[in-house]
Amino acid sequence: MPSFMDVDSYLIRTLYKIVVACMGIFATFALSLKYVMQDNSAKYMRILLHLGTITLGVYACHFLVISPVLLIFSGLWYPLKLVLAFILVTTLSYTIVRILSLNRYTAFILLGIAVNTKNKF
């Protein structure tokens, strides 16, 4: 049975991860907005839409994938574990996003892609 301190520690770690993810989203949006406002071309807007869709899915999926992956690599040297976990979690998350985007309903509900548009990743 976890103690009260373990629950607080888990809550703090989870909130930290959420805050870091949100700050990454805001920083990316702010930097991207600077370049989009300079040149209002459709090319930049398509790129931003694609990146936004992929990063939303990766942020949503990596929380589900990261814990089992870290358990798999638990006995390895820490820097090697980080590199392998990063590669595997990113690949799995991107694959999950690609699979979800194939169905228009899962793409709309879980990734925020409009139902009436065709997704060409």
- Which two tokens mark 109? 């509900």
Rounded distance, CA 62 to CA 68, Å?
Answer: 10
User: With bands split at pLDDT 50, 70 and 90, how would you rate the model's confidence at 59?
Assistant: confident
The mean pLDDT of the chain is: 76
Q: If we measure between CA atoms, which residue out of 120, 53, 61 comes closest to residue 90?
A: 61
CA angle 109, 49, 29 (to 5 degrees): 105
pTM (predicted TM-score): 0.54
